[in-house]
Amino acid sequence: IVRSFSNSAAVNSAIKNVTIIGGGLMGSGIAQVTAQAGQNVTLVDVNSDILAKSQKSINNSLGRIAKKIYKDNPQEGEKFAREASERIKTATDPVAAVKDTDLVIEAIVENLDVKHALFQKLDNAAPAHTIFASNTSSLSINDISSVVKRKDRFGGLHFFNPVPVMRLLEVVRGGETTDSTFDTMMQWGKSIGKTCVACKDTPGFIVNRLLVPYMAEALRLLERGDASARDIDIAMKLGAGYPMGPIELLDYVGLDTTKFILDGWNKNYPDQPLFKPIPILNKLVAEGKLGVKTGEGFYKYDKK
């Protein structure tokens, strides 16, 4: 948090105006960290009710961060939060919102057809120099960019939840991303205070490519009856030093999200044994037990 703020002076000169499409969990966080770094943001979603919610959650988060950074100077903290908040404009028309933008980051629903429809519209409307990026977790950047002409100015910017807290940004190079586009994306990531890692367009990039099969293997261990869920979690925390066990992590991420990612990869890579469906996961998802968010997954949680 402190990093993203202290780096705000080093705003990348190539990118001044950023348009973020999708004001949900991820888009709101991306809008916030971009505005905190001193850049102008336009946040786009389908209607103004959703955008009002996005703004509320951004303002709450900015307030918390301001309190932390400016413990001894609440006035300065208020100014910081207000100025960041004022840098975020909202809009419901994506075409108008990209007319004067340097970077578009798409964080809408994880559906290839919907992303295609959006990018096709934006490709005709945005200036020639504008870089397009997707925050997709599980789709291929090359598949998403297949519908645009500017494949050389297209890549992946994969953030982690919660965006203001998680320091990593995976910068993904598509098959036709030029060095200049890639360098600009890396510099931009640094300008908003993230630590950037480079990755090619492969399923799950770095983090999810390792994390999803790891969680899947934990479930296969459980399914075979080799160990209990609790013991698997204890083992990985105390034996491998992980802050959470794989099954707790699944409940936290959402069982539906992990199933969705696995199913998509399995369809595209049917020969990869690590991506095969997991009956126990499918059963819980069918029962609506999706993890922490529904009060029950592999464990039970108190609903607040």
Known binding residues are 22-27, 45, 61, 68, 110, 115, 137, 161, 293
Among 109, 165, 198, 210, interactor with ligand NAI by CB under 6 A = 109
Comparing CB distances to ligand NAI, the nearer of 73 and 124 is: 124
| Contact flag: residue 164 with ligand NAI (CB under 6 A) | no
Active site (annotated) includes residue 129: no
Sign of torsion over alpha carbons 96, 101, 104, 108: negative
| Contact flag: residue 50 with ligand NAI (CB under 6 A) | yes
Active site (annotated) includes residue 78: no
> For residue 57, which amino acid is it?
S
10 DSSP assignment: G
Contact status, residue 199 vs residue 25, Cβ threshold 8 Å: no
| 241-300 binders of ligand NAI (CB under 6 A) | none
Residue in the block written with tokens 């208020």: 78
Judged by CB under 6 A, the number of residues near ligand NAI is 24
Comparing CB distances to ligand NAI, the nearer of 12 and 28 is: 28
Active site (annotated) includes residue 158: yes
| Contact flag: residue 159 with ligand NAI (CB under 6 A) | yes
Cα–Cα dist 136/159, whole Å? 9
Catalytic residue of the set 17, 54, 135, 158: 158
Sign of torsion over alpha carbons 149, 102, 85, 3: positive
The DSSP line for 189-253 is HHHTTPEEEEEES-TTTTHHHHHHHHHHHHHHHHHTTSS-HHHHHHHHHHHH--SS-HHHHHHHH
Task: Kindly give, in sequence order, each residue whose CB lies less than 8 Å from that of residue 60, ignoring residues fewer than 6 positions away.
Answer: none
Question: Shortest gap between Cβ of 92 and ligand NAI (angstroms)?
Answer: 8
Catalytic residue of the set 134, 138, 208, 248: 208
Among 18, 88, 107, 262, interactor with ligand NAI by CB under 6 A = 107
Among 10, 25, 95, 280, interactor with ligand NAI by CB under 6 A = 25
User: Which residues sit at the interface with ligand NAI, rule CB under 6 A?
Assistant: 21-27, 44-46, 50, 94, 107-110, 114, 118, 135-137, 158-159, 161
**Positions marked active-site:** 137, 158, 170, 208
